[in-house]
Chains A and B, each alone.
Chain A
Amino acid sequence: MNKRVVLPLVVFAILIAFLAIGLTRDPREVPSPLINKPAPAFDLELLAQPGQHLSLQDMRGKVWLLNVWASWCVACREEHPLLLEFSREALVPLIGLDYKDQRAEAVAWLSRFGNPYAAAIMDVSGSTGIDYGVYGVPETFLIDKEGVIRYKRIGPLTREALRNEVLPLLKKLDG
Protein backbone atom coordinates (compact mmCIF):
# COMPACT_ATOMS: atom_id res chain seq x y z
CA MET A 1 0.00 0.00 0.00
CA ASN A 2 1.01 3.53 -0.66
CA LYS A 3 2.47 5.48 2.24
CA ARG A 4 0.07 8.30 1.41
CA VAL A 5 -2.72 6.05 2.53
CA VAL A 6 -0.93 4.45 5.45
CA LEU A 7 0.27 7.62 7.15
CA PRO A 8 -3.16 9.28 7.59
CA LEU A 9 -4.54 5.93 8.76
CA VAL A 10 -1.82 5.64 11.41
CA VAL A 11 -2.44 9.21 12.59
CA PHE A 12 -6.18 8.50 12.63
CA ALA A 13 -5.65 5.29 14.64
CA ILE A 14 -3.54 7.15 17.22
CA LEU A 15 -6.24 9.81 17.52
CA ILE A 16 -8.92 7.15 17.94
CA ALA A 17 -6.84 5.40 20.60
CA PHE A 18 -6.50 8.65 22.59
CA LEU A 19 -10.21 9.40 22.30
CA ALA A 20 -11.15 5.84 23.27
CA ILE A 21 -9.02 6.05 26.42
CA GLY A 22 -10.57 9.43 27.14
CA LEU A 23 -14.07 7.99 26.96
CA THR A 24 -13.33 5.42 29.66
CA ARG A 25 -12.23 8.08 32.13
CA ASP A 26 -14.43 10.22 34.32
CA PRO A 27 -13.22 13.82 34.25
CA ARG A 28 -15.10 14.50 37.47
CA GLU A 29 -13.08 11.94 39.35
CA VAL A 30 -10.11 13.72 40.81
CA PRO A 31 -7.37 11.35 41.97
CA SER A 32 -6.97 11.93 45.68
CA PRO A 33 -3.52 12.96 46.86
CA LEU A 34 -4.48 11.47 50.23
CA ILE A 35 -4.12 7.81 49.19
CA ASN A 36 -1.34 6.18 51.23
CA LYS A 37 -1.02 9.29 53.38
CA PRO A 38 -1.85 9.46 57.10
CA ALA A 39 -5.51 10.29 57.65
CA PRO A 40 -5.95 13.88 58.88
CA ALA A 41 -6.64 14.07 62.60
CA PHE A 42 -10.10 14.90 63.89
CA ASP A 43 -11.88 15.04 67.22
CA LEU A 44 -15.60 15.42 66.67
CA GLU A 45 -18.79 15.20 68.66
CA LEU A 46 -20.87 12.08 68.34
CA LEU A 47 -24.22 12.53 66.66
CA ALA A 48 -26.07 10.31 69.10
CA GLN A 49 -24.28 11.39 72.30
CA PRO A 50 -23.88 15.19 72.49
CA GLY A 51 -20.79 16.12 74.47
CA GLN A 52 -18.95 12.89 73.71
CA HIS A 53 -16.22 12.81 71.11
CA LEU A 54 -14.57 10.39 68.75
CA SER A 55 -11.07 11.05 67.45
CA LEU A 56 -8.79 9.49 64.87
CA GLN A 57 -6.70 8.12 67.74
CA ASP A 58 -9.69 6.09 68.97
CA MET A 59 -9.65 4.14 65.71
CA ARG A 60 -5.96 3.16 65.88
CA GLY A 61 -5.32 -0.54 65.44
CA LYS A 62 -8.49 -1.05 63.43
CA VAL A 63 -9.20 -1.18 59.74
CA TRP A 64 -12.30 0.94 59.24
CA LEU A 65 -14.43 2.80 56.78
CA LEU A 66 -15.24 6.48 56.99
CA ASN A 67 -18.40 7.38 55.10
CA VAL A 68 -19.02 11.09 54.55
CA TRP A 69 -22.73 11.71 54.37
CA ALA A 70 -25.44 14.27 55.18
CA SER A 71 -29.20 14.36 55.55
CA TRP A 72 -29.36 16.98 52.75
CA CYS A 73 -27.41 14.75 50.39
CA VAL A 74 -29.67 13.10 47.83
CA ALA A 75 -27.07 10.72 46.41
CA CYS A 76 -26.50 9.37 49.93
CA ARG A 77 -29.90 7.68 49.80
CA GLU A 78 -28.74 5.79 46.76
CA GLU A 79 -25.87 4.05 48.56
CA HIS A 80 -27.71 3.75 51.87
CA PRO A 81 -29.21 0.25 51.41
CA LEU A 82 -25.74 -1.00 50.51
CA LEU A 83 -24.27 0.51 53.67
CA LEU A 84 -26.99 -1.12 55.77
CA GLU A 85 -26.18 -4.44 54.16
CA PHE A 86 -22.47 -3.92 54.77
CA SER A 87 -23.01 -3.01 58.43
CA ARG A 88 -25.05 -6.19 59.04
CA GLU A 89 -22.03 -8.24 58.07
CA ALA A 90 -20.01 -6.24 60.63
CA LEU A 91 -16.65 -6.89 58.94
CA VAL A 92 -15.09 -3.62 60.07
CA PRO A 93 -16.46 -0.53 61.82
CA LEU A 94 -18.30 1.89 59.56
CA ILE A 95 -18.04 5.43 60.91
CA GLY A 96 -20.34 8.11 59.51
CA LEU A 97 -19.09 11.66 59.12
CA ASP A 98 -22.16 13.87 59.08
CA TYR A 99 -20.97 16.69 56.84
CA LYS A 100 -22.30 20.24 57.36
CA ASP A 101 -25.58 19.08 58.79
CA GLN A 102 -28.03 19.75 61.62
CA ARG A 103 -28.17 17.27 64.46
CA ALA A 104 -31.96 16.96 64.54
CA GLU A 105 -32.20 16.41 60.78
CA ALA A 106 -29.39 13.87 60.75
CA VAL A 107 -30.90 11.90 63.64
CA ALA A 108 -34.32 11.94 61.94
CA TRP A 109 -32.74 10.81 58.65
CA LEU A 110 -31.04 7.84 60.31
CA SER A 111 -34.16 6.75 62.17
CA ARG A 112 -36.16 7.00 58.96
CA PHE A 113 -33.79 5.16 56.63
CA GLY A 114 -31.89 3.02 59.16
CA ASN A 115 -28.52 3.52 60.83
CA PRO A 116 -25.61 1.63 59.29
CA TYR A 117 -22.96 3.36 61.40
CA ALA A 118 -21.09 1.95 64.37
CA ALA A 119 -20.79 5.63 65.28
CA ALA A 120 -21.61 8.87 63.53
CA ILE A 121 -19.68 12.08 64.17
CA MET A 122 -20.63 15.64 63.31
CA ASP A 123 -18.55 17.95 61.13
CA VAL A 124 -20.75 21.01 61.46
CA SER A 125 -18.23 23.52 60.09
CA GLY A 126 -17.03 21.24 57.31
CA SER A 127 -13.38 21.72 58.29
CA THR A 128 -12.71 18.00 58.71
CA GLY A 129 -14.30 17.55 55.29
CA ILE A 130 -11.82 20.04 53.84
CA ASP A 131 -8.93 18.20 55.52
CA TYR A 132 -10.11 15.01 53.84
CA GLY A 133 -10.47 16.77 50.48
CA VAL A 134 -14.21 16.08 50.41
CA TYR A 135 -16.00 17.74 47.51
CA GLY A 136 -18.72 15.36 46.43
CA VAL A 137 -20.77 13.85 49.24
CA PRO A 138 -21.06 10.90 49.69
CA GLU A 139 -17.43 9.88 49.88
CA THR A 140 -15.95 6.79 51.45
CA PHE A 141 -12.45 6.28 52.85
CA LEU A 142 -10.78 3.05 53.90
CA ILE A 143 -8.29 3.63 56.70
CA ASP A 144 -5.87 0.98 57.92
CA LYS A 145 -4.58 0.01 61.36
CA GLU A 146 -1.81 2.60 61.24
CA GLY A 147 -4.26 5.35 60.35
CA VAL A 148 -3.24 5.52 56.70
CA ILE A 149 -5.85 6.17 53.99
CA ARG A 150 -5.76 3.24 51.58
CA TYR A 151 -8.78 3.87 49.40
CA LYS A 152 -11.15 6.65 48.58
CA ARG A 153 -14.39 6.63 46.67
CA ILE A 154 -16.09 9.82 45.52
CA GLY A 155 -19.82 9.54 45.04
CA PRO A 156 -22.15 6.72 46.04
CA LEU A 157 -20.62 3.35 46.78
CA THR A 158 -21.80 0.73 44.30
CA ARG A 159 -22.13 -3.01 44.75
CA GLU A 160 -19.37 -3.52 42.16
CA ALA A 161 -16.99 -1.10 43.88
CA LEU A 162 -17.69 -2.72 47.23
CA ARG A 163 -17.14 -6.25 45.93
CA ASN A 164 -14.24 -5.59 43.59
CA GLU A 165 -12.31 -2.89 45.40
CA VAL A 166 -13.30 -2.40 49.04
CA LEU A 167 -13.81 -5.97 50.26
CA PRO A 168 -10.56 -7.41 48.79
CA LEU A 169 -8.60 -4.52 50.29
CA LEU A 170 -10.35 -4.99 53.65
CA LYS A 171 -9.45 -8.69 53.70
CA LYS A 172 -5.85 -7.93 52.83
CA LEU A 173 -5.42 -5.21 55.45
CA ASP A 174 -7.39 -6.90 58.21
CA GLY A 175 -5.79 -10.31 57.70
Chain B
Amino acid sequence: MAEPTPSVEALDARVRDIASRLRCLVCQNQTIADSHADLALDLRAQIREQLERGATEKDIERYMVARYGEFILYNPPLHASTSLLWFGPALLVAGGLAGLGFAIRRRARLAQSGAPIAHDPDDSLADS
Protein backbone atom coordinates (compact mmCIF):
# COMPACT_ATOMS: atom_id res chain seq x y z
CA MET B 1 0.00 0.00 0.00
CA ALA B 2 1.28 3.43 -0.92
CA GLU B 3 1.42 6.22 1.63
CA PRO B 4 -1.75 8.26 1.46
CA THR B 5 -0.98 11.38 -0.53
CA PRO B 6 -2.78 14.66 0.16
CA SER B 7 -4.93 14.17 -2.92
CA VAL B 8 -6.16 10.82 -1.61
CA GLU B 9 -7.06 12.47 1.65
CA ALA B 10 -8.80 15.26 -0.19
CA LEU B 11 -10.76 12.68 -2.17
CA ASP B 12 -11.68 10.86 1.05
CA ALA B 13 -12.92 14.12 2.51
CA ARG B 14 -15.05 14.87 -0.54
CA VAL B 15 -16.54 11.36 -0.50
CA ARG B 16 -17.36 11.80 3.20
CA ASP B 17 -18.82 15.23 2.60
CA ILE B 18 -21.15 14.05 -0.17
CA ALA B 19 -22.04 10.84 1.66
CA SER B 20 -22.97 12.79 4.79
CA ARG B 21 -25.75 14.52 2.84
CA LEU B 22 -27.31 11.29 1.56
CA ARG B 23 -29.72 9.10 3.46
CA CYS B 24 -28.90 5.44 3.86
CA LEU B 25 -32.03 3.69 2.61
CA VAL B 26 -31.44 0.49 4.53
CA CYS B 27 -31.14 2.22 7.91
CA GLN B 28 -33.16 5.32 7.26
CA ASN B 29 -31.97 7.50 10.10
CA GLN B 30 -28.31 7.34 9.21
CA THR B 31 -26.38 9.00 6.46
CA ILE B 32 -24.47 7.01 3.91
CA ALA B 33 -21.28 8.33 5.54
CA ASP B 34 -22.24 6.96 8.98
CA SER B 35 -23.75 3.66 7.98
CA HIS B 36 -21.94 0.36 7.86
CA ALA B 37 -24.67 -1.25 5.78
CA ASP B 38 -23.51 -3.05 2.68
CA LEU B 39 -25.44 -0.74 0.40
CA ALA B 40 -23.89 2.32 2.05
CA LEU B 41 -20.42 0.88 1.45
CA ASP B 42 -21.30 0.28 -2.20
CA LEU B 43 -22.70 3.78 -2.61
CA ARG B 44 -19.61 5.33 -1.01
CA ALA B 45 -17.49 3.34 -3.45
CA GLN B 46 -19.75 4.59 -6.23
CA ILE B 47 -19.28 8.23 -5.11
CA ARG B 48 -15.50 7.77 -5.02
CA GLU B 49 -15.44 6.16 -8.44
CA GLN B 50 -17.50 8.95 -9.95
CA LEU B 51 -15.36 11.66 -8.33
CA GLU B 52 -12.26 9.98 -9.75
CA ARG B 53 -13.89 10.06 -13.16
CA GLY B 54 -14.35 13.81 -12.72
CA ALA B 55 -18.04 13.93 -11.84
CA THR B 56 -19.29 17.00 -9.96
CA GLU B 57 -21.32 16.89 -6.76
CA LYS B 58 -24.42 17.82 -8.76
CA ASP B 59 -23.79 14.89 -11.13
CA ILE B 60 -23.59 12.49 -8.20
CA GLU B 61 -26.69 13.93 -6.60
CA ARG B 62 -28.59 13.49 -9.87
CA TYR B 63 -27.29 9.91 -10.17
CA MET B 64 -28.58 9.05 -6.67
CA VAL B 65 -31.93 10.79 -7.10
CA ALA B 66 -32.53 9.04 -10.45
CA ARG B 67 -32.23 5.67 -8.69
CA TYR B 68 -33.54 6.18 -5.18
CA GLY B 69 -35.67 9.31 -5.48
CA GLU B 70 -35.43 12.61 -3.64
CA PHE B 71 -35.91 10.74 -0.39
CA ILE B 72 -32.19 10.04 -0.45
CA LEU B 73 -31.38 13.74 -0.06
CA TYR B 74 -31.27 14.97 3.53
CA ASN B 75 -31.72 18.49 2.22
CA PRO B 76 -34.92 18.25 0.18
CA PRO B 77 -35.21 20.58 -2.84
CA LEU B 78 -37.99 23.16 -2.83
CA HIS B 79 -40.92 22.46 -5.13
CA ALA B 80 -44.70 22.11 -4.98
CA SER B 81 -44.80 18.77 -3.16
CA THR B 82 -42.28 19.86 -0.54
CA SER B 83 -43.59 23.40 -0.01
CA LEU B 84 -45.56 22.42 3.10
CA LEU B 85 -42.38 20.93 4.53
CA TRP B 86 -40.47 24.15 3.89
CA PHE B 87 -43.11 26.71 4.82
CA GLY B 88 -45.21 24.72 7.31
CA PRO B 89 -43.26 25.82 10.40
CA ALA B 90 -43.40 29.49 9.34
CA LEU B 91 -47.15 29.16 8.75
CA LEU B 92 -47.62 27.67 12.22
CA VAL B 93 -45.64 30.51 13.81
CA ALA B 94 -47.62 33.11 11.84
CA GLY B 95 -50.90 31.47 12.88
CA GLY B 96 -49.84 31.36 16.51
CA LEU B 97 -48.76 35.01 16.51
CA ALA B 98 -52.02 36.09 14.86
CA GLY B 99 -54.03 34.16 17.48
CA LEU B 100 -51.96 35.69 20.26
CA GLY B 101 -52.47 39.18 18.80
CA PHE B 102 -56.26 38.71 18.67
CA ALA B 103 -56.35 37.46 22.26
CA ILE B 104 -54.26 40.33 23.58
CA ARG B 105 -56.37 42.93 21.77
CA ARG B 106 -59.59 41.35 23.03
CA ARG B 107 -58.39 41.39 26.58
CA ALA B 108 -57.26 44.99 26.27
CA ARG B 109 -60.69 45.94 24.91
CA LEU B 110 -62.50 44.11 27.69
CA ALA B 111 -60.26 45.69 30.31
CA GLN B 112 -61.01 49.13 28.86
CA SER B 113 -64.76 48.56 28.85
CA GLY B 114 -64.45 47.85 32.55
CA ALA B 115 -65.80 44.32 32.45
CA PRO B 116 -63.94 42.05 34.85
CA ILE B 117 -62.05 39.54 32.71
CA ALA B 118 -62.76 36.65 35.01
CA HIS B 119 -66.48 37.08 34.43
CA ASP B 120 -66.34 37.33 30.67
CA PRO B 121 -69.28 35.08 29.76
CA ASP B 122 -67.54 34.03 26.56
CA ASP B 123 -64.55 32.79 28.55
CA SER B 124 -66.46 30.11 30.35
CA LEU B 125 -67.31 26.81 28.66
CA ALA B 126 -70.18 26.27 31.09
CA ASP B 127 -72.03 29.26 29.67
CA SER B 128 -72.10 28.01 26.13
Q: Are A30 and B125 in contact (CB under 8 A)?
A: no
A22 part of interface (Cβ distance < 8 Å): no
Residues of A within 8 A of B69 (CB): 30-33, 133
A28 part of interface (Cβ distance < 8 Å): yes
Instruction: Identify which of residues 1-57 in chain A touch chain B, using a CB-to-CB cut-off of 8 Å.
Output: 1-2, 4-5, 27-28, 30-34
A103 part of interface (Cβ distance < 8 Å): no
A-side interface mostly: loop
| Alpha-carbon separation in the docked complex, A4 to B70 (Å) | 42
Number of interface residues of A (CB under 8 A): 19
Stretch in contact with the other chain, from B1-9, B12-20, B60-68, B110-118: B60-68
Q: Are A130 and B67 in contact (CB under 8 A)?
A: yes
| In the complex, residue of chain A having the shortest beta-carbon distance to the beta carbon of B41 | A126
A136 part of interface (Cβ distance < 8 Å): yes
Other A-B contacts than A34-B67, A100-B38, A133-B68, 18 sampled, CB-CB below 8 A, are A1-B128, A2-B122, A2-B125, A2-B127, A4-B123, A4-B125, A4-B128, A5-B128, A27-B28, A31-B69, A33-B68, A33-B70, A126-B42, A130-B42, A130-B43, A132-B67, A133-B67, A135-B39
Residues of A within 8 A of B (CB): 1-2, 4-5, 27-28, 30-34, 100, 126, 130-133, 135-136
